[in-house]
């Protein structure tokens, strides 16, 4: 596996519409493996293929494990792979704090559905379908947008609802990518 370079907002590739994956070759599995390694190195919740310059409809989401005060695991890490995804249901609406690995150093307020159902394929072409709430729903919507060349900057509630964060490592919310 290889850690790939994440491109940032000034790169016009992030504004392109990505293409459907039609052949599930080993190259697709390699892409997904590289994306997980890249996401882990960058420390985010999700990554879409166009963020590493690959204009294919592929994204991953990795929700970190949760621990109680004593350090016991409440919920394990959850990893999702979506190829050719389609959001088939959206419910609720809420303002959420959001960031993006392609827009480093910023957070903004966007309005997202609080619950979504998404379907698509995994890296082997098998059909998958997931329901997500809260952070998972937000991540599905954010990463899906990348496949259409949309950044969260386009969805800001207001032009001034974006701010600079001093130190990425100190930030506890909105660590969505």
Q: How far is CA 146 from the centre of its chain?
A: 8
Taking alpha carbons only, the member of 81, 97, 9 closest to residue 47 is 81
Closer to Ni ion at the Cβ: 9 or 33?
A: 9
Is 143 annotated in the active site?
yes
The CB-of-101 to Ni ion minimum distance in angstroms stands at 6
| Region near Ni ion per CB under 5 A, out of 8-16, 53-61, 112-120, 169-177 | 169-177
The verdict on 100 binding Ni ion (CB under 5 A) reads yes
The DSSP secondary structure of 112-166, one letter per residue, reads: E-SEEEEEEE-TTS-EEEEEEEHHHHHHHHHHHHHHTT--GGGGBSSTT-EEE-S
In a 3-state reduction of DSSP, which class is residue 31?
A: helix
The CB-of-11 to Ni ion minimum distance in angstroms stands at 13
Closer to Ni ion at the Cβ: 119 or 155?
A: 155
Which one of 78, 143, 166, 172 is the catalytic residue? 143
Contact set with Ni ion (CB under 5 A): 100, 177
- Could you list the active site residues? 143
């Amino acid at each position: 596996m290889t850690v790939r370079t994440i491109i940032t907002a000034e790169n016009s590739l992030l504004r392109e519409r990505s293409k459907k994956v039609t052949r599930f070759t080993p190259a697709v599995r390699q892409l997904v493996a590289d994306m997980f390694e890249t996401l882990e190195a960058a420390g985010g919740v999700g990554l879409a293929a166009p963020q590493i310059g690959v204009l294919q409809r592929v994204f991953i989401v990795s929700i970190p494990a949760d621990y109680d005060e004593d350090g016991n695991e409440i919920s394990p890490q959850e990893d999702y792979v979506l190829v050719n995804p389609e959001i088939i249901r959206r419910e609720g609406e809420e303002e959420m704090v959001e960031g993006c690995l392609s827009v480093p150093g910023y957070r903004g307020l966007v309005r997202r559905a609080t619950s979504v159902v998404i379907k698509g394929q995994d890296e082997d072409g098998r059909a998958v379908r997931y329901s997500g709430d809260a952070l998972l729903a937000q991540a599905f919507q954010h990463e899906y947008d990348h496949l259409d060349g949309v950044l969260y900057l386009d969805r800001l509630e207001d032009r001034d609802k974006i701010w600079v964060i001093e130190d990425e490592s100190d930030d506890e919310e909105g660590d969505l990518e």
